[in-house]
A = this chain, B = another copy of it.
Amino acid sequence: MRIARFTTGDDPRYALVEGEPGQEQLVVITGDPIYTPVQPTGEHVPLDRDDVRLLAPVIPRSKVVGVGRNYADHAAELGNEVPSSPLLFLKPNTSVIGPDDPIVLPPWSEDVHHEAELAVVIGKVTKDVSPEQALTRVFGYTVANDVTARDVQRSDAQWTRAKGFDGSCPLGPWIVPGLDVDDLAVLCRVNGTTTQDGRTRDLVFDVATLVSYISEVFTLLPGDVILTGTPAGVGPVRHGDVVECEVEDIGVLRNPVIRRV
């Protein structure tokens, strides 16, 4: 099952996505599936209809929790050690954008990088959950681009500006519940050229461990998102680029990159 959030010009609605790539239909459902059972309305909308626009599949009510240096090859490429416990940071909900929304490069950075990641969407209020029970709190999975101003990440003591600016958290194209995420490809392409090509089996801390650890710090709310870290191959994006992040069995999250003059 794939669950999308979309608009045809009015308020956002939710839908199941059915059909093969290029021929997807949106099977419209009532309400927000994170809070209410999935119930089709009977309306079908072709995904490629001109007035249809996919939105970020979730806007967190509270937080996006990022995890730094969670693939050994990525930690190494930036000259860092793998941490002994998950290295957490926060992105605010104002950083979230959806598929095809432009990533607007902030004027105060000259070196903005892509970071393709598997994203976890929380389904239930969660505090102090064990790793064994953690996956029961997950609503589903989507794709994220943990866009990072690498120069500012180096110069600021905290990563807040570098990873929290408006548009720094593209999410989408939809949420897949119930997925086995133990060994999925995580890819990034810039203008069609593959830059990142990792697998979730190489996560230093796996999804269950992350959900459990994070829930010992904060209460996770339904719709909160955890970014699980990025594999090696991060690199710059520039005005005019198109960046595609992909997770196997989920889909492709595509965003143009612009710099306002």
Query: Chain A interface (Cβ within 8 Å of chain B)?
Result: 61-63, 65, 68, 83, 87-90, 92-95, 106-108, 127, 156-161, 164-166, 216-219, 221
Contacts and interface: CB of A to CB of B under 8 A. Distances in A.
Give me the 5 closest cross-chain CB pairs, A-B, nearest first.
A63-B92, A88-B160, A90-B90, A94-B219, A89-B158
A165 B93 contact: no
B108 A216 contact: yes
Given A216-B108, A218-B164, A219-B94, A158 B127 contact: no
A61 B62 CA distance: 7
Nearest to A63: B92
A221 B96 CA distance: 14
Contact of A165 (B62, B164, B218): B218
A230 B38 CA distance: 48
A90 B89 CA distance: 9
A92 B160 CA distance: 12
9 contacts: A63-B94, A65-B160, A68-B158, A90-B90, A94-B221, A108-B216, A158-B158, A160-B217, A166-B219
B90 A164 contact: yes
B158 A94 contact: no
Contact of A127 (B95, B160, B161, B166): B166
A217 B89 contact: no
A142 to B, nearest CB: 20
B217 A161 contact: yes
Contacts of A106: 216-217
A157 B92 contact: no
